Amino acid sequence: MKNSRLICVLFLIGTGVFASYFGGNIPYALFYLAIFIPIISFLYTLYVYIRFKIYQSMDNRTVVKGDWNRYSLIIANEDLITFRNVKVNFLYDKSTIKQTGESMEYSLLPNDKRLMETKVRCNYRGAYFIGVDSIEVTDFLYLFSITYPLKSKLKVWVLPRVVHIEQLAIAPAVVDSKNPVRFSNAVEEELDTEVRRYNPGDNKKRIHWKASAKANELLSRQYHQKPKSEVILFMDLAKVREDELKAVIIEDKIIESTLAIANYYASRATHSHVIYDMDGIKQVSIHTKDDFNIFYRACVNIRFDSTTSIDDLLARRLQRGDGGIFYVVATSRLTKELYLRALQVLSGGNRICILFISDDTSDLSNTMIGDMKKAGVDIYKIMLGDEIEAILTKSI
């Protein structure tokens, strides 16, 4: 394009000098031609932009992060002149379109159109635009290249992923002398000191062999139901102090880890409560899968602009004086205040697990993690490249 413009300028200067020195119809005709060429080229680019048609669509505007969805793009020339050098630029910072790069260039004959059917994947939670970003039109002589933003962009609402886990290793371990360690916050059955005569159909794992030997008959342990304890999930929605991409990844992991744990307990009929601050402190109680689905769909609109610190949210909950509660905190920051509040949680007879979502590997951060572990706090470091499922199902 630089060469074309240089040639056009030299041609204009040359014909101007030629017409000045020699005059006549031909020199002036060449001079006027040199003037009109860039004007006509510019008007052509403007005309193509006005007449160029582009249509894009998706099956559903509400999608799940990471899923591939059908995407179609139609570009058309409904005019009587040829459209050359029309470049379509795509949005690629938050989404990925199969079989395309950052841009695609087309040339369309009169009444010609191109159809592209492919798939698009949204890489982050939230509401944003995907697909075509702008159109770049270049004239035949490569003198002008004008980029026009698309007037009607394709907006989607992207829900976070729900990571399905079968075993939650971060939960307090329930130990049965006759069974392997299992992970759950809800104590489904607890062994009593009494035994009774074994009946056909009883679980053989419940047979008390030592008592049976003394009584010379099979005896079975008696179990009684123990109420399930509460699970309180805290989401730290404070603004993440990182660059835009890292901040989005951290925000997604905070939400997805909370959803994974809430879904785990909801599928096991264990009550959980999600506490966060967004336009005021909110507590969402999740008792059933329907409750979880309502909260899940609301997560697309969650904003990280909390004005209440996570340690303050813990303090407000601790004012109730409850005991035997399992606290889970998903945050991107470790502070002295959070450390002291965690100690207060433990002193009240509760359990606390902190999911620290950050790439921070500083000595200060590592020292804080070590001190918390020594104090009895279960803390898990989740790096930006880690998978949520791998961390939540792996013991410390």
pLDDT per residue as tens digits for the range 25-73: 777 777 767 777 778 878 888 888 778 888 899 988 899 999 999 999 9
Burial-class residue 234 by CB neighbours within 10 Å (0-12, 13-18, 19+).
Answer: buried
List pLDDT tens digits, range 210-249: 777 777 777 777 654 444 467 999 999 999 988 888 999 9
User: Does domain 52-159 correspond to CATH entry 2.60.40.10?
Assistant: yes
Query: CATH 2.60.40.10 spans which residues of the chain?
Result: 52-159
List pLDDT tens digits, range 306-319: 999 999 999 999 88
Distance (Å, whole) CA 354 – CA 325: 14
The average confidence (pLDDT) of the chain is 83
With CA atoms as reference, report the closest residue to 168 among 378, 343, 360.
Answer: 378
Say what the pLDDT of residue 18 is: 64
Instruction: Give the DSSP letter string of 297-364.
Output: HHGGG--S--SS-HHHHHHHHHTT---S-EEEEEES---HHHHHHHHHHHHTT-EEEEEEE-----HH
* 231-392 fold: Rossmann fold (3.40.50)
Say what the pLDDT of residue 262 is: 94
182 pLDDT higher than 60:
no
Query: CATH 3.40.50.410 spans which residues of the chain?
Result: 231-392
254 pLDDT higher than 80:
yes
Phi and psi for 190 in degrees, rounded to 5? -130, 135
- 3-state SS class at 214: helix
pTM recorded for the entire structure: 0.72
